[in-house]
Structure 1
């Protein structure tokens, strides 16, 4: 082959390659990887949805991390992540400019008091629960349980779950000084293995190794959350900051789809916002939904 013909072949191949790359760039999202950080109460759902989403949305990589609601809100405000997960409204977190963030309410999470199973109690009154977490009741025998010291496991400062629990249970009273943990998973292990232990967990973390306690004979169920008969609940927020890239938008659309809301979400122990008969504003006031 002459040098002239060889040069023509090379130029044709190069042109074809550039055209292929251009088509690929137009067909694929501008950004393939997104990072989601924050609420550990929302983390299991966010991770499960990420696995399903990646099967549907070829080439996408979704990295889900915990760290707590405070971390999620601060990092999305700083734009170091694509989505910041939170159990609380951004307006209620000091140092966060909620006006710059966009709130996507993707689910409702219920929280329930959980006891070490050896305690043997299945129901607590609202007053008993508040007295335990403020340190007034220190032994289970005071409320019909065994002669055993109560070990309170609280959530860390900045935890959305802690704020939700204390607003619903303590009514402004100060919680007793206690061991603090920032992860639902860690709390579950500690309560299951510590005699006399009590804490609280998102519904999706509760298993047979623990005793979830009724409050005033009301069971911690999705049905009771939906009507506010069970009062310890909050929205699961996914906050974004600025214009969404294609993968972030696609992920949010997917988690809000009927497929996820009516399937994956409920199977994981959450309540769909569509199922709620009431809504809660940023000040914690509960209102009946208008039909």
Structure 2
């Protein structure tokens, strides 16, 4: 089992745990358990804390594990919420028609490099060639003579799925080290000279990201403004999936995450409220102007 963190909103406690192997919390209507996307985890954890302070006696547990794990666990009835960066229809083995989709935010995803890399912009073709292994030295894209160190997300990651769908054009990424969550990628790229990977916008600000540099693509910068009108195309909805008839407190928590009172928190953490998007995207990846 993967190790992770549960964030308990009512007590403010953090403790080690693994992916839920059974319906541990099903016996209590006071428990809300959200597992999955680490791109969504900062927002889900903050919302859990704020929700807990407003709803004494209700515990919201938040854990990572990746979008695939979130969809699988909610589909099996082991958790009340499956956090995901991808539509359930995009994940093999998931019975999407048995689940209810709650889009709670939008997240941008950007390539990031260690701050020592003397490159600030790539073309989409160059970025793709780096991740296929065709380009292996920064000097080949205008940087210093330094080997490129690839860091990828593990299979099952919604962040990886979105990056590959929007960048790789059907080509396979080169075999490289893989990490289970955005936080681990953030730390490794920050500490590894010549490293490149990709992260949710929510992991590219703050003290822990000070040794990271997001890259522009085709001279378009990875900004919230550019995500809103799809000038920056690497973005995804943040979904909270539930069963068709979630329990009262799960419904109440998701409603809170989507509420106007959470909007400032959503923006502060680097996400975009869904209703501020100027375009929509479906499970096939088709983008339509509103």
Matched, 1:211 2:213: yes
Give the match's secondary structure for 2:72: helix
Equivalent residue for 1:172? 170
Higher relative strand content: 2
Give the match's secondary structure for 1:284: coil
Which structure 2 residues correspond to residues 20-31 of structure 1 after superposition, within 5 A? 31=29
Which structure 2 residues correspond to residues 152-231 of structure 1 after superposition, within 5 A? 152-206=150-204, 207-231=209-233
Higher relative helix content: 1
Give the C-alpha shift of residue 58 in structure 1. 1.5
RMSD: 0.9
Return the index of the structure with the highest Cα Rg: 1
Equivalent residue for 1:120? 118
Q: Residue by residue, what CA displacement relative to the aligned partner does 1:20-44 show, whole Å, maximum 9, x if unpaired?
A: xxxxxxxxxx711111000000000
Q: Residue by residue, what CA displacement relative to the aligned partner does 1:84-138 show, whole Å, maximum 9, x if unpaired?
A: 0011110111110000000000011100000011112111111110110011100
1:78 alignment partner, one of 76, 79, 82: 76
Give the C-alpha shift of residue 235 in structure 1. 0.5
Matched, 1:38 2:40: no
Matched, 1:140 2:123: no
Give the match's secondary structure for 1:119: coil
Equivalent residue for 1:111? 109
Which structure 2 residues correspond to residues 274-285 of structure 1 after superposition, within 5 A? 274-285=275-286
Structure 1 residue ranges without an equivalent (≥5):
1-29
Equivalent residue for 2:55? 57
Give the C-alpha shift of residue 208 in structure 1. 1.9
| TM-score computed with the length of structure 2 as normaliser | 0.88
Equivalent residue for 2:12? none
Equivalent residue for 2:90? 92
| TM-score computed with the length of structure 1 as normaliser | 0.88
Q: Residue by residue, what CA displacement relative to the aligned partner does 1:240-286 show, whole Å, maximum 9, x if unpaired?
A: 013221211110110010111x2110100001111100000110010
Equivalent residue for 2:18? none
Equivalent residue for 1:20? none
- 2-side partners of 1:37 and 1:188: how far apart? 20
Equivalent residue for 1:267? 268
- 1-side partners of 2:38 and 2:171: how far apart? 25
- 1-side partners of 2:279 and 2:115: how far apart? 33
Aligned residues: 259
Q: Residue by residue, what CA displacement relative to the aligned partner does 1:29-68 show, whole Å, maximum 9, x if unpaired?
A: x711111000000000000000000111121110000000
- 2-side partners of 1:104 and 1:233: how far apart? 17
- 2-side partners of 1:266 and 1:34: how far apart? 24
4+ residue stretches of structure 1 with deviation over 2 A? none
Q: Residue by residue, what CA displacement relative to the aligned partner does 1:165-217 show, whole Å, maximum 9, x if unpaired?
A: 01111111111111111110000110011111000000010122201111111
